Amino acid sequence: MLIFLKFSEIFTKTKRVRKRFLNILKRNIESAFERENFKAKVILKRDKIIVECSEYRDFFERIFGIRKILVVEEIDFKDLNNLKKKVVKFMGNKVRKKTFGVRVKRKGKHRFNSLTAEREIGAELVKKGGKVNLDNPDIWVKLEIEGNKAYLIEREIDGAGGLPIGTEGTALCLVSGGFDSIVASYMIAKRGTEISFLFFNLGGFTHLKEVTNLLNFFWKNYLYGISPYLFAVDFRPIVEDIRTSIPESYWGIILKRKMFEVAEKIAKNRGFKAIVTGEALGQVSSQTLDSLYVIEKILQDVICLRPLVGFDKEEIINISRKIGTYEISEKIKEYCAIVPDKPVTKPELKKVEEIELLLEKNLIPLVIKTMRVIEPPYEIGEENIEIERIPDSAIKVDIRDKMEREILPFESDLQISYKEIDNYEFDKNKTYIFFCNYGLFSQEVALKLRKKGIKAYAFGGGIVRYKKVYKQ
């Protein structure tokens, strides 16, 4: 079987750029073959890519940069009379008692032109019981002729379009698990951008698990040719700081500014030129034009791309259904813990910047330092490392340094600083609950010790939350 992969935008590029784009597209196609366990040979041509294989599979329709997919039958012929006979052999029974039209595209030198070929092949098919209709036929008989070979198009399928992933730089997509952010990621990847993901965790293990399920589906089915990182940042300490320090009407605006601040720092450190969000103008209070202006003002070194800015919710939902993410996103709970009753919709930049001074300064570098970097497939295990209640037999371990213990006292069974953890011999028959101020470093320690077979947990929210739960 032969499959022709056609492209549109690539063909408009200069010869040098077209060559680079085609090589990247070929790489992505071969990546798809490997991921889908598909055996085939890829042949690069000036105007198409030819795939020699034994069957057609629908993953071709999800490779960005491909406009049309043609499943073709190769026909060797000597002259037009010979070609007519062979086309009739394939199509004679199919056009009987149906309307049809013939379209021929031709390359090379022949003793006939395309119009003559269309007329003579059509005349032969009429003899087999077909009726010509060039406006809206039941069947189109389409051929592409190159030299002494003709390619009869058996199926014509729309491709994903766009540009091959990897041709337009890198960007960091902010994802929440909802409909909008994953559709925005799809739209920007479709334009050839090599993307990675940034997830601000507001709901703990369950939230992270749900988002990794969504991203695994998206990566496996669309992001051929790349292995995007997932940067998972536990944002709950910052959410709590905003909730307790900031006037309620400004919660949403300042939360988004803090997310953008963290996103820019990660993007700059990792070499991303842009961050990508699923914001649509006017959809919620933090997406009014005034709000978007104030939020984006915190950026200095990267740009913010909003592929969905002009879309309404129904259009976004329709795309999520089309690409298969709707059913997954629909099941993911809304985890934002700070939804004000009367949010500000026309914030003033100067006032917002003044209010932000009420926040703790050390939390931004802390959540970045403790973020998890996960490569696909995005696996985080099945058991939650966070714990909400302390079992009677568990050993409470304070991993803070001496100065932190003096500032915020906490009664523990063991005191082992974060830097000394690797040198301590833990008993595999005992259960350990690790504590730090906000539960960030303790998660990292618990994950590390789990891999060594230790029954390790981190107390969710850290000592700050523990004191609230246990009224200390």
CA distance 62 to 50: 17
Contact 169, 305 (CB under 8 A): no
Integer angstrom CA distances of residue 38 from 31, 35, 69: 10, 8, 17
Helix axes 251-270, 349-356, angle to 10 degrees: 80
3-state secondary structure of 144: strand
Contact 134, 35 (CB under 8 A): no
CA distance 170 to 461: 33
CA distance 247 to 263: 24
Integer angstrom CA distances of residue 246 from 53, 172, 243, 364, 366: 61, 28, 6, 16, 20
Q: Determine the Cα angle at 41 with ends 39 and 46, to 5°.
A: 145
CB atoms within 10 A of CB 249: 15
CA distance 251 to 309: 22
List the structure tokens of 132.
Answer: 């010509």
DSSP string, 365-399: HHHHHT-EEEPSS----SS--EESS--TTPEEEE-
Task: Please indicate whether residue 436 is annotated as part of the active site.
Answer: yes
List the structure tokens of 278.
Answer: 């699923």
Q: Give alpha helix (H) positions in 37-113.
A: 80-95
Respond yes or no on whether the N-terminal peptide bond of residue 377 is cis (omega within 30° of 0).
yes
Among the listed residues 53, 304, 336, 436, the single catalytic one is: 436
CA distance 247 to 234: 23
3-state secondary structure of 166: coil
User: End-to-end CA distance of the chain, in Å?
Assistant: 72
Nearest to 443 by CA among 366, 386, 390: 386
CA distance 211 to 334: 12
List the structure tokens of 123.
Answer: 């005349």
**In one letter, which amino acid is 361?**
K
Nearest to 460 by CA among 364, 406, 390, 402: 390
**In one letter, which amino acid is 219?**
W
Active site residues: 436
